[in-house]
Amino acid sequence: MTSHLETTFNLLASRKTTEASDLLTSAVDVPVGEIQALAVRALLKKHQLPSQLLIIRKWPELHSLAQDAVFEEKHSIRETVKHCLERDKGELQSLALEVAVAISDYTQIPNILNRMESSSGEQLARMTEAMRMLTDQFYEALFRQESEGEGPNLNTESLSYQKKNIIQQIAGTVSRLEQHNEPDLILESLLILGSPTQPDIKEIMSSTDLRLMKRVEWILQHSRHHGVMQFIVDSMNIQNPNIRVIDAIRQRDDSEFISHLLGEYPESLNAIQSDNYQQIKSIRWLASPERELPLILPAQHQSVIRLMMGVRLPVDQQVNIQKWLIHNGGPETRLAATEVLTTLDQRSADNLINESLESEDPNVQAWATSQLRSQSGASSFEKLINRIDSDIPEVQIAARNELRSFDLELMLKIFDSTPLRTVRQAGVLLHKLDPDVYRKLNEKIHDPLRSKRIRTAQAAFALGLHRNISQSLIALLGDEDPMVRRTAVEILGDVPKRNVYDILYQMRTDSSPRVRDAILKALQKLQIAFERIKQSQVQTTASPAEKSKTEIAEPALANSGVQET
């Protein structure tokens, strides 16, 4: 229901008189968030340049509710932000950059690039920072849409359309790259947002301009942005990838790239991928297994083996890698067993391991347990965890030796670069092996740094341990940072407890619209969870005859329009 205040501001927005505009302008200065937000919305509805310039000029002073209002109506102010970027070189341009980043207006990326060509000094530094932040925001939005199946979330505009349009405009500046003040930023943005199959990107990657390709090579070798590293991996899915992509895989030895490569490396290569990886005859970090392999999550050792088998490493390097894995993974008998397994196809190797797990010989069971990590099946890690409590001492020892390198600190560092299935299995292991894991999580979730609070909460959810630290998550609901609150709300939506529901229900009027939206979604999830629990309890306790009656009664109740109380 519209309040009297909203009605008043809507009326002022519809009036074209000077007096109405003056009243709205004055309301922007009122130090009350709700009034500022209503005034800003009303001014945006007028679609008048002076009104929108006023909002930009007062941006640093606006209440967070008013800034959220601009975020929600970003399309209304987009042209004015562009106007300020193009026609001003002073404070107004700086404020326009701040607004563009705050409202995630990705369409300003080409405009900022154009301005950067004629900028220098502090002005160029501000534009460069805005360019990097908008590129990161756009990449994260595209990544969420792809990984979570989100539809376009910028009102009616399609992220895919924006991506194509922005890449075309950025690519248009490549021809005058050497006259640009930040040439590497342009190329890195293209590799972050683009894909190897896009025409503009294919044209750049096939260029014969040696100076241009030298810059591309440097970015491929040194950029630690997720988008650039993913571009390298994706390039191996197409025929005849640029040799600089292959060189990046051969030469890069930074931990970020190693983790990304192992996390994205296919479980089985198709014909194109196999031809591409077979061109690689050396990988720098695999040449020093004693230094690099201890830094890799044991769950990714399979990926190391697959990568080793997918490329054409010298035999002596393969032996050194196998020696390290065997030495650090179990008893001496692994050497012969691993050599046998590598001569078999994966299905035959898996069958041999599974049959050996059922052997009556404890030593055979222990050996098979020590080989479970080489299986490709999703249940292999679960089998390994279950054998920690085996009645057979040899099997217990083998299982614990396989799992000894897992701890919470390791998972906090790598959970977001590791497949979710593996992380969930690691959470089961931590629950089983570390009695202090929840105390540690409760301590870390209250870290003074906002980024660490958010990361710990996200890690707890990824590990599947979040339901046992619900009180700490509830405490985050009072955090002054809306991003922390929203993260806690999203995770608590998967904690079906009545007190969680009641607390979230009371927060429906949170000051941040994004937090409020997250709360509504969380409440819906909890209601569905409660209903499933209720149905499960009914089915568990009811007699067969009662279950039959329930199955008949429930459709009738639904069709009658009567709600259950």
Query: What is the spatial distance between Cα 172 and Cα 110, in angstroms, rounded to a whole number?
Result: 10
**b/e map of 346-368 (b: 16 or more CB within 10 Å)?**
eeebbebbbebbeeeeeebbbbb
Cβ(447)–Cβ(456) below 8 Å:
yes
Q: Which pLDDT belongs to residue 249?
A: 96
Which residue type, as a one-letter code, is found at position 513? Answer: P
Cβ(492)–Cβ(473) below 8 Å:
yes
Q: Which residue has the higher pLDDT, 42 or 328?
A: 42
Q: Which pLDDT belongs to residue 90?
A: 83
Q: Which residue has the higher pLDDT, 559 or 63?
A: 63
Tokens at 392, concatenated: 């057979």
Segment 433-448 shows an average pLDDT of 90
Q: Which residue has the higher pLDDT, 346 or 452?
A: 452
Cβ(247)–Cβ(213) below 8 Å:
no
Q: Which residue has the higher pLDDT, 196 or 345?
A: 196
Note whether residue 519 is domain-resident: yes
**Residue 423 burial (C-beta neighbours within 10 Å; 0-12, 13-18, 19+):** buried
Above 90 in pLDDT, residue 402? no
* pLDDT-derived band at 434, boundaries 50, 70, 90: confident
Cβ(192)–Cβ(225) below 8 Å:
yes
Look at 97-106, 252-261, 351-360 and tell me which has the smallest mean pLDDT.
351-360
* pLDDT-derived band at 337, boundaries 50, 70, 90: very low
Look at 48-52, 249-253, 267-271, 312-316 and tell me which has the smallest mean pLDDT.
312-316
Above 60 in pLDDT, residue 285? yes
Cβ(277)–Cβ(310) below 8 Å:
yes
Above 60 in pLDDT, residue 133? yes
Segment 306-317 shows an average pLDDT of 79
Cβ(142)–Cβ(163) below 8 Å:
yes
Q: Which pLDDT belongs to residue 156?
A: 33
Mean pLDDT of the chain: 82
Tell me if residue 474 falls in helix, strand or coil.
helix
Note whether residue 34 is domain-resident: no
Cα–Cα distances in Å, from 163 out to 156, 183, 190, 230, 266?
Answer: 15, 20, 10, 16, 26
Query: What is the crossing angle of helices 18-27 and 33-46, to 10°?
Result: 140
Query: What is the spatial distance between Cα 135 and Cα 133, in angstroms, rounded to a whole number?
Result: 5
Q: Which pLDDT belongs to residue 306?
A: 80
What's the domain range around 489? 436-533
* Residue percentage of the chain with pLDDT more than 70: 85
Look at 239-248, 290-299, 494-503 and tell me which has the smallest mean pLDDT.
290-299
Cβ(44)–Cβ(70) below 8 Å:
yes
Number of domains in the chain: 1
Query: What is the spatial distance between Cα 236 and Cα 277, in angstroms, rounded to a whole number?
Result: 7
Q: Which pLDDT belongs to residue 144?
A: 80
Neighbouring-strand partners of residue 154 = 157
Give the containing element (helix H, strand E) for 494. none
Tell me if residue 224 falls in helix, strand or coil.
coil
Above 60 in pLDDT, residue 560? no
Range among 122-131, 173-182, 360-369, 446-455 with highest mean pLDDT value: 446-455
Look at 120-129, 400-409, 463-472 and tell me which has the smallest mean pLDDT.
400-409
Range among 132-136, 301-305, 343-347 with highest mean pLDDT value: 132-136
Look at 141-150, 466-475, 485-494, 505-514 and tell me which has the smallest mean pLDDT.
141-150
* pLDDT-derived band at 326, boundaries 50, 70, 90: low
Q: Which pLDDT belongs to residue 5?
A: 84
Contacts of 501 (CB under 8 A, 6+ apart): 523, 526, 527, 530
Q: Which pLDDT belongs to residue 549?
A: 43
* Residue percentage of the chain with pLDDT more than 90: 33
* pLDDT-derived band at 241, boundaries 50, 70, 90: very high
Cα–Cα distances in Å, from 176 out to 98, 114, 208, 558?
Answer: 27, 11, 15, 66
Range among 92-96, 141-145, 381-385 with highest mean pLDDT value: 92-96
Above 50 in pLDDT, residue 472? yes
> Which residue in this structure is represented by tokens 């005058």?
176
Dump pLDDT digits (tens) for 199-208: 999 999 999 9
- Output the DSSP codes for 514-531: HHHHHHHHHHHHHHHHHH
Above 90 in pLDDT, residue 473? yes
Our measurement of the distance from residue 312's CA atom to the centroid of its chain's CA atoms, rounded to an integer in Å, reads: 32
Q: Which pLDDT belongs to residue 315?
A: 62
Segment 352-370 shows an average pLDDT of 78
Q: Which pLDDT belongs to residue 513?
A: 93
Note whether residue 281 is domain-resident: no
> Which residue in this structure is represented by tokens 């709700």?
34
Above 80 in pLDDT, residue 341? no
**Residue 387 burial (C-beta neighbours within 10 Å; 0-12, 13-18, 19+):** buried
Note whether residue 502 is domain-resident: yes
pTM score: 0.54
3-state secondary structure 307-371: HHHHCCCCHHHHHHHHHHHHHHHCCCCHHHHHHHHCCCCHHHHHHHHHHHHCCCCHHHHHHHHHC
Note whether residue 362 is domain-resident: no
Note whether residue 520 is domain-resident: yes
Above 60 in pLDDT, residue 419? yes
Note whether residue 473 is domain-resident: yes
Query: What is the spatial distance between Cα 501 and Cα 507, in angstroms, rounded to a whole number?
Result: 10
Query: What is the spatial distance between Cα 129 and Cα 138, in angstroms, rounded to a whole number?
Result: 14
Indicate left, alpha or beta for 496 from its phi (over 0: left) and psi (-120 to 50: alpha): beta
Neighbouring-strand partners of residue 157 = 154
Segment 16-38 shows an average pLDDT of 86
Q: Which pLDDT belongs to residue 85?
A: 87
Q: Which pLDDT belongs to residue 149?
A: 60
The CATH number of the domain holding residue 485 is 1.25.10.10
Note whether residue 451 is domain-resident: yes
> What is the greatest pairwise CA distance in the chain?
92
